[in-house]
């Protein structure tokens, strides 16, 4: 995992020494807003990875909003080597590595090179690389005014302790930082299990962006985070309500085709050599998200 320094790509590992062994996710750098629901077809496109949970959010909401033909997507290869996210087979929009796109947008850019990226092909610029903002630009009505306060509160806790919590556990290089992350993660999973006792979705009867944001972590949990990131106090399948909730979300129109567990596992186990030096991808677990 590298980064760009003054517009030049460098294969630099993550720095956890300065944080006492804690993983700290850097802020995203491109935060402009556009309306994708009214966009000229093909002007805007997404650079994504099927393996990445943050990019996965945008693919799900794009399907919900029926924008797949309006906003095309370019898919990175699952294996991320020393040059970062890579594109092959003409599926690139004219680049091979994602860092080239960042350099086009900002020649002196310094920072991490992440997906998703919302690219303006007409203007030759990165509009936004913050997934939580991109999904709101799609106009899928997942952030209703009357539920904003509740959605924001759920999002804040889920982001800190679950979405980013699994990474805080997996990338920690100090025992106490790992222990803190795992404790918070499972406290929130326990809270979510109780919350779903009286709700179909996280904020009531209506599906919202809070559900999208949680799902992309849950669908990866037993296959990757449980073992690879050492989040192994309990499996997702050990939470009856959360397990059914995940399968119910998976059954929504358009969602299943955005989930590729083989690619997800290939990315994490092969790309993150500091965690899995052998790069061996486990065959299990056997998971079936279909409702029965």
CA 13 to chain centre: 20
Asked if the model's pLDDT at residue 89 lies above 70, the reply is no
Domain at 3-137, CATH class = alpha beta
In CATH, which of 3.30.70.2190, 1.25.40.10, 1.20.1050.10, 1.20.58.220 is domain 145-259?
Answer: 1.20.1050.10
What pLDDT is recorded for position 27? 86
The tokens describing 71, both together, are 């906003």
Separation of alpha carbons 190 and 179, rounded Å: 17
Specify the domain boundaries for CATH 1.20.1050.10 within the chain: 145-259
231 is catalytic: no
What does the pLDDT look like over 27-46, one tens digit per residue?
899 999 999 999 999 999 99
**Percentage of residues in the chain having pLDDT higher than 70:** 99
Catalytic residue among 47, 52, 109, 225: 52
pLDDT, residue 205, reads 96
**What distance in Å separates the CA atoms of residue 263 and residue 66, rounded to the nearest whole number?**
24
Buried b (16+ CB within 10 A) or exposed e, 216-236: bbbbbbbbbbbbbbbbeebbb
Q: What is the pLDDT of residues 124-144, one digit of tens each?
A: 999 999 999 999 999 999 999
- From the candidates 79, 143, 159, 167, which is the catalytic residue? 167
Give the single-character DSSP code of 27.
P
pLDDT of residue 118: 98
Cβ–Cβ contacts within 10 Å for residue 35, how many?
10
Question: Which DSSP string do the residues of 100-117 spell out, in sequence order?
Answer: HHHHHH-TT--B---S-E
**pLDDT tens string 43-80:** 999 999 999 999 999 999 999 999 999 999 999 999 99
Angle of CA points 213, 215, 216, to nearest 5° = 75
pLDDT digits (tens, 9 = 90+) for 246-256: 999 999 999 99
Mean pLDDT for the stretch of residues 113-132: 96
- Residue 56's pLDDT is 98
Annotation says 167 is catalytic: yes
pLDDT of 11 reads: 86
pTM of the model: 0.96
Burial 84-93 (b: 16+ CB within 10 A, else e): bbbbeeeebe
Predicted local confidence at residue 221, as pLDDT: 98
Say how many CA atoms lie within 13 Å of 49 toward its Cβ: 28
CA distance 25 to 235: 25
Outline where 196-260 has alpha helix (H).
209-220, 240-250
What pLDDT is recorded for position 15?
Answer: 78
Distance, in Å, from the CA atom of 57 to the CA atom of 140, rounded to the nearest integer, reads 12
Closest CA to 243 of 282, 290, 276: 290
CA–CA distance, 56 with 161 (Å, rounded to integer): 19
pLDDT at 92 over 80: no
Residue 237 neighbours by CB under 8 Å, 6+ apart: 222, 243
Number of helical H runs and strand E runs in the chain: 9, 6
CA 107 to the chain's CA centroid: 26
Instruction: State residue 90's pLDDT score.
Output: 61
């Amino acid at each position: 995992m590298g980064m760009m320094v003054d517009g030049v790509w460098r294969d630099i590992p993550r720095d956890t020494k300065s944080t006492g062994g804690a993983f700290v996710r850097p802020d995203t750098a491109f935060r402009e807003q556009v309306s994708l629901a009214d966009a000229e077809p093909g002007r805007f496109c997404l650079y994504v990875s099927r393996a990445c949970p943050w990019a996965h959010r945008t693919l799900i909401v794009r399907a919900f909003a029926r924008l797949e033909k309006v906003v095309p997507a370019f898919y990175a290869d699952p294996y991320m080597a020393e040059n970062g996210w890579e594109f092959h087979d003409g599926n690139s929009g004219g680049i091979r590595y994602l860092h080239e796109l960042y350099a086009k947008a900002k020649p002196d850019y310094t920072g991490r090179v992440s997906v998703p990226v919302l690219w303006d092909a007409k203007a030759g610029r990165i509009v936004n690389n913050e997934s939580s903002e991109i999904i709101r630009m799609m106009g899928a009505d997942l952030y209703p005014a009357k539920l904003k306060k509740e959605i924001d509160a759920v999002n804040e806790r889920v982001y800190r302790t679950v979405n980013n919590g699994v990474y805080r556990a997996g990338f920690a290089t100090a025992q106490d930082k790992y222990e803190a992350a795992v404790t918070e993660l499972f406290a929130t999973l326990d809270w979510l299990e109780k919350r779903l006792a009286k709700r179909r979705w996280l904020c009531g009867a209506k599906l919202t962006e809070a559900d999208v944001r949680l799902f992309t972590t849950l669908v990866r949990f037993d296959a990757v985070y449980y073992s690879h990131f050492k989040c192994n106090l309990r499996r997702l399948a050990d939470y009856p309500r959360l397990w059914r909730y995940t399968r119910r979300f998976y059954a929504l129109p358009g969602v299943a085709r955005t989930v590729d567990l083989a690619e997800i596992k290939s990315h994490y186990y092969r790309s993150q050599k500091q965690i899995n030096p052998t790069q061996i991808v486990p065959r299990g677990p056997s998971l079936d998200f279909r409702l029965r």
